[in-house]
Chains A and B, each alone.
Chain A
Amino acid sequence: AQSVTQLDSQVPVFEEAPVELRCNYSSSVSVYLFWYVQYPNQGLQLLLKYLSGSTLVKSINGFEAEFNKSQTSFHLRKPSVHISDTAEYFCAVSDGDTGGFKTIFGAGTRLFVKA
């Protein structure tokens, strides 16, 4: 069965510093990878996704993630964070081999951006 591991439960960082949120998934022939963001007391919103093609995908607000098949990783990065980036971030995988009706979510990483 597919699984997703987010290696850090909390990441504190100062404003304007770079950040990396780590995500590893269990291997499968074909996977589709997602990062979602959740602000307090709200639902999840899609941040970015990898389906195929270029291994580097970017969001409109400066986040990017790189698909690394050999390391089965999909780490999320931002070169300079803002206070408004404080939220919980979830890595997720959808398995194309088994129909992909279920999406497996990681446990989440809480990003705290400090002034």
Chain B
Amino acid sequence: DGGITQSPKYLFRKEGQNVTLSCEQNLNHDAMYWYRQDPGQGLRLIYYSQIVNDFQKGDIAEGYSVSREKKESFPLTVTSAQKNPTAFYLCASRDRGPYNEQFFGPGTRLTVL
């Protein structure tokens, strides 16, 4: 089955630690996205990538980093510089063209202890 996988489902981190969230897709989509979701705030765009080896900052990129070395993979690192990292993180992908919908992974819930 084609789709997007995110791992782990739940992640706990101590303050001051970096952590990497995995996102893999087998839909052959060019574009991939990372969103952060907090209660009552909808989805906020962290980073997006239109093509391999290229990515752009979204609205809330501070304290996060990404890489796009393969078309299928778009990992997100939450660094210790992110002041309030506890949130639900969603990865998505989309085929070329603004008329195409985004396909979402199941999400990773990150909790900082």
Interface residues, chain A, CB within 8 Å of chain B?
A: 9, 32, 34, 36, 41-46, 49, 51, 90, 94-96, 99-103, 105-108
- Closest residue of A by beta carbon distance from B105: A43
Partner of A44, one of B31, B58, B90, B109: B90
Given contacts A32-B98, A43-B6, A44-B43, 5 further A-B contacts (CB under 8 A): A43-B106, A44-B92, A46-B103, A100-B99, A101-B31
B62 at the interface (CB under 8 A from A): no
Binding site for A on B (CB under 8 A): 4, 6, 31, 40-43, 45, 48, 50, 58, 88, 90, 92, 94, 97-99, 101-107, 109
Find the B residue at minimum CB distance from A106. B42
Contact B90 A101 (CB under 8 A): no
- Does the CB pair B104–A43 fall under 8 Å? yes
B residues in contact with A45, CB < 8 Å: 104
Hey, which chain B residues are within 8 Å of A95, CB to CB?
Answer: 98
Shortest B102–chain A CB gap in Å is 6
Docked-complex contact A107 and B105, CB < 8 angstroms = no
What residues on B are CB-neighbors of A99 within 8 Å?
98
A45 to B101 CA separation, bound complex (whole angstroms)? 10
**Closest Cβ–Cβ distance, residue B92 to chain A (whole Å):** 8
Given contacts A99-B98, A102-B48, contact A43 B107 (CB under 8 A): yes
In the complex, the chain A residue whose C-beta lies closest to that of B35 is A105
Check A43/B90 contact, CB under 8 A, given A94-B98, A100-B99.
yes
A76 to B72 alpha-carbon distance, docked (Å)? 33
Kindly state the separation between the CA atoms of A44 and B50 in the bound complex, as whole angstroms: 20
Q: Which B residues are CB-close (under 8 A) to A32? A: 98-99
The residue of chain B having its C-beta at the shortest distance from the C-beta of A94 within the complex is B98
